[in-house]
């Protein structure tokens, strides 16, 4: 464990040495210590929660990657089995070639011995029979030795190859077990995520329902606001009408009061006239019948004309001038005109 302060730089050896390979590929061990050797030489010893931190990468393998890895491991196992069969065939062929070469050499040696002179009291036939018997015995022994050696070599090679294949198969099985465990873990994670997704979808549906209810409430409030605006405009119109009514009522009261004052003044004036007539019999006053209008359009006072003497356009002009005069003297809140341009009509 590293307890000192400072920085530690770790470099992948494959980057500095492209031809590097794991040390475990060059080791041989007993099957009893398989797990111990795999634990020491076949995995990293840097942990996230240990004393040495930094550079730790938590690689999460997906299900597709695990499936591809399993297929690659199976393909590797098939290739190893094919190599095993090829090696066995190659070993058998080499041994047969060596045996054939040895037999040819032995035959050549025996042919040389047969060709040499034989110093023996035996006859030629006896020597021939003896040599043939010797050759057969030597051939049989040599063949048995070669067969035994071949069998031993085959057994030894098969055992070595079987051990290597068994180790590789155990490694592949361990990796396959680890990948299957990771697949199970990922399946559980996927199941959990599916449950969470269903829960979120239900919550989303609830939110959408709530949004729909909220939209309906908003639309209802908008309709209520429109109704309130209509009522407000009506209330404003009613208030305006009420204000106008109050204003007109006030004006009416004022006009009524003024009319009473004028009537009272008129009565006073009539009583004064009666008193004057009673005191002086020679004074004669015509009754008041209304207001007459006489106008002159050339500015001469001796050429004043009555309304009956005016043309249609002159009558309309006089009517407008009378209205403007009344407005200037005593303005009214409103005016009601009817047929003010009647004198302009042809009929």
State residue 53's pLDDT score. Answer: 46
> Is-contact 51 1, C-beta < 8 A?
yes
Weakest-pLDDT range from 1-10, 203-212, 329-338: 1-10
pLDDT (0 to 100) of residue 120: 47
The whole-chain average pLDDT of the chain stands at: 74
| Top-confidence residue, 181 or 107 | 181
What pLDDT score was predicted for residue 56?
A: 43
CA distance 303 to 295: 8
Question: How many CB atoms lie under 10 A from the CB of residue 20?
Answer: 11
Percent of the chain whose predicted confidence (pLDDT) is above 90: 0
In degrees, rounded to 5, the angle at the alpha carbon of residue 14 between the alpha carbons of residues 9 and 20 is 130
Of the two residues 230 and 32, the one the predictor is more confident about is 230
The pLDDT of residue 209 is 84
| pLDDT class of 287 with cuts at 50, 70, 90 | low
Specify the pLDDT at position 279.
56
Which pLDDT band holds residue 268 (cuts at 50, 70, 90)?
confident
286 DSSP 8-state letter:
P
Please state, in angstroms and rounded to a whole number, the distance separating the CA atoms of residues 211 and 199. Answer: 18
Instruction: For residues 309-333, give the mean pLDDT.
Output: 83
Residue 266 has pLDDT above 60, yes or no: yes
Detail the DSSP E strand segments found in 256-337.
294-295, 305-306
Q: How confident is the model at residue 58 (pLDDT cuts 50, 70, 90)?
A: very low
Check residue 309 and report its DSSP letter: G
Of residues 207 and 54, more confidence is placed in 207
How far apart CA 71 and CA 60 sit, in angstroms, is 19
Phi, psi dihedrals of residue 62, rounded to the nearest 5° = -80, 170
- For the cut 70, the answer to whether the pLDDT of residue 133 exceeds it is yes
Q: Could you give the C-alpha distances from 72 to 67, 179, 186, 304, in angstroms and in order?
A: 9, 12, 20, 130
Main-chain phi, psi angles of 306, to 5 degrees: -85, 175
Helices of type H across the chain:
13-16, 34-41, 63-115, 124-279, 312-329
Give me the long-range contacts of 109-117 (CB less than 8 A, separation at least 24): 110/135
Strand partners, 294: 306
- Averaged pLDDT for residues 91-111: 71
């Amino acid at each position: 464990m590293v307890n000192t302060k400072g920085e530690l730089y770790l470099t992948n050896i494959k980057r500095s040495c492209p031809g590097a390979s794991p040390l475990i590929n060059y080791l041989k061990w007993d099957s009893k210590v398989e797990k111990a050797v795999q634990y020491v030489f076949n995995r990293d010893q840097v942990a996230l929660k240990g004393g040495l931190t930094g550079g730790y990468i938590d690689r999460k393998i997906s299900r597709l990657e695990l499936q591809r890895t399993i297929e690659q491991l199976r393909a590797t196992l098939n290739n190893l089995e094919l190599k095993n069969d090829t090696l066995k065939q190659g070993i058998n062929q080499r041994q047969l070639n060596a045996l054939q070469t040895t037999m040819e050499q032995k035959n050549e040696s025996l042919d040389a011995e047969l060709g040499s002179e034989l110093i023996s009291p035996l006859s030629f036939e006896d020597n021939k029979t003896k040599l043939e018997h010797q050759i057969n015995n030597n051939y049989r022994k040599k063949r048995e030795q070669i067969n035994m050696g071949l069998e031993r070599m085959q057994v030894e090679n098969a055992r070595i190859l079987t051990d290597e294949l068994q180790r590789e198969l155990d490694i592949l099985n361990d990796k396959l077990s680890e990948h299957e465990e990771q697949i199970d873990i990922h399946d559980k994670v996927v199941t959990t995520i599916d449950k969470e997704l269903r829960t979120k979808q239900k919550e989303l549906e609830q939110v959408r329902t709530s949004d729909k209810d909220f939209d309906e409430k908003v639309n209802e409030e908008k309709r209520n606001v429109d109704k309130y605006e209509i009522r407000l405009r009506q209330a404003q119109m009613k208030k305006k009408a009420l204000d106008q009514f109050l204003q007109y009522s006030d004006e009416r009261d004022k006009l009524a009061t003024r009319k009473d004052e004028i009537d009272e003044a008129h009565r006073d004036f009539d009583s004064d006239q009666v008193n004057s007539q009673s005191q002086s019999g020679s004074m004669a006053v015509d009754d008041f019948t209304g207001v007459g209008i006489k106008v002159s359009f050339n500015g001469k006072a001796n050429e004043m004309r009555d309304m009956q003497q005016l043309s249609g356009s002159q009558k309309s002009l006089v009517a407008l001038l009378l209205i403007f005069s009344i407005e200037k003297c005593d303005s009214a809140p409103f005016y009601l005109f009817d047929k003010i341009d009647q004198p302009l009509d042809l009929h």
